[in-house]
Amino acid sequence: MHAQRSEDVSAGDTVADSVLVGGRGGLGHLTLNRPNAINALDLEMIRTLNLALDRWEHDTDVDVILLDGAGERGFCAGGDVRALHEMVTGGRTDDVHAFFREEYALDHRIAISRKPVVAIADGVCMGGGIGLAGHAAIRIVTERSKLAMPETRIGFTPDVGGSWLLGRAPGRLGEYLALTGGTMDAADAVYAGFADHLVPSAHLEALYEALENRADPSSPTELVLLFDETTERSRLEDAREWVDDAFAADDVFGILDRLRRRPEAEARETAELLSSSAPTAVALTLEAVRRARELPSLRAALAQEYGLVMWFAFTQPDLVEGIRAQVVDKDRSPSWSPARLDELPAERVAEAFAYAPEPALW
């Protein structure tokens, strides 16, 4: 994680407080710059990133874009959920719509960018950080990387295109990672399809210089391969037998039953975790990942997520309660509504997917 050099790529480059915008040669360089908050995203940062990508889209001097984070803790801990809590509790409906609409547009833009985006997911990369790095053309992790979609832990559901990535993970790992919010190391992230290359953190400076100087071989992928190392075997690969068996069940009740019958201690621990999680969040997230698996595009997955996020924000108490318990008061004792899975109304999940937010996504 570094706040790298910001030499001008072209006239008009700027250094915003929360995002450094610059580069050198043919490299555009964007650095998330809120290290004290592990570079958590707010709307100003999202807009700065979008503006830079707008300008570079038609700038013939820029042909590769590098995205990283400042500080030693991580690339991006996610969206600023404290700010989201304030928006929801303050009734700032338009701000909630704007934040997610513009964030999702940014994630999609990175995915379809004609200029390849090289994302360095060094250290913590969770939630909104996955939305930025997970859809880049070249996704790099290091030995310090910790990736996760931990939204169910705050009574929420994976978004920022996370359901699209989760739905395409091997076997039933998508359901497992989504429902538990489990953390992936570099080997896990590459195996699960959230990253492409492991580059040791000690080699990042040399990689940056190679990208700036365009030494042969000249393509970004070929340059990254000069520094790439083979990952160790993923623990997720070793867990596939019990994960695939349990998380193939029809519903959360079935998953819990299969987990409790497994001989592996980790399977039974997972059952305990899910039993204490927000019933609405885990039931809806299971369906979201499975629906995303059948969707035709990232854009379609983002549209599905947008409706679910607005449903949580405007109709459910669990999101505000989860953020309160984990981030605001930090008592780690959320009161979910309903509190038990067997109290969840049968129609609740269908109701969420039928929710039609206004305005539309984009």
Q: Which two tokens stand for residue 178?
A: 């989504």
CATH number assigned to the domain comprising residue 7: 3.90.226.10
What pLDDT, on the 0 to 100 scale, is given for residue 8?
Answer: 43
Tens digits of pLDDT across the chain (362 residues): 454 433 444 434 444 599 999 988 899 999 999 999 999 999 999 999 999 999 999 999 999 999 999 999 999 999 999 999 999 999 999 999 999 999 999 999 999 999 999 999 999 999 999 999 999 999 999 999 999 999 999 999 999 999 999 999 999 999 999 999 999 999 999 999 999 999 999 999 999 999 998 756 568 999 999 999 999 999 999 999 999 999 999 999 999 999 999 999 999 999 999 999 999 999 999 999 999 999 999 999 999 999 999 999 999 999 999 999 999 999 999 999 999 999 999 999 999 999 987 777 76
Q: Is the preceding omega at residue 338 within 30 degrees of 0, hence cis?
A: yes
Q: Can you give the pTM of this predicted structure?
A: 0.94
* Pairwise CA distance, residues 145 & 151, whole Å: 18
Query: Where does the chain have alpha helices with state H?
Result: 43-57, 81-89, 93-112, 128-133, 162-167, 173-180, 186-192, 204-213, 220-225, 235-238, 240-246, 252-261, 265-276, 279-293, 298-315, 318-323, 348-354
* Alpha-carbon 16 to chain mean position: 23
What pLDDT, on the 0 to 100 scale, is given for residue 213?
Answer: 87
What pLDDT, on the 0 to 100 scale, is given for residue 249?
Answer: 98
Beta carbons within 8 Å of 257's beta carbon, 6+ residues apart: 249
* Pairwise CA distance, residues 109 & 136, whole Å: 9
Domain that holds residue 100: 1-362
**Helix, strand or coil, per DSSP, at residue 20:** strand
What pLDDT, on the 0 to 100 scale, is given for residue 214?
Answer: 75
Neighbours of 262 (CB within 10 A): 17
Q: Smallest Cα–Cα separation from 54: which of 28, 78, 32, 16? A: 28
Active site residues: 79, 128, 151, 159
Query: Could you tell me which residues are beta bridge partners of residue 23?
Result: 28
What pLDDT, on the 0 to 100 scale, is given for residue 267?
Answer: 98
* Pairwise CA distance, residues 4 & 208, whole Å: 9
Number of domains, the chain: 1
Which residue has 């980790």 as its token pair?
266
User: How many angstroms separate the first and last alpha carbons of the chain?
Assistant: 32
Query: Could you tell me which residues are beta bridge partners of residue 67?
Result: 30, 119
What pLDDT, on the 0 to 100 scale, is given for residue 23?
Answer: 83
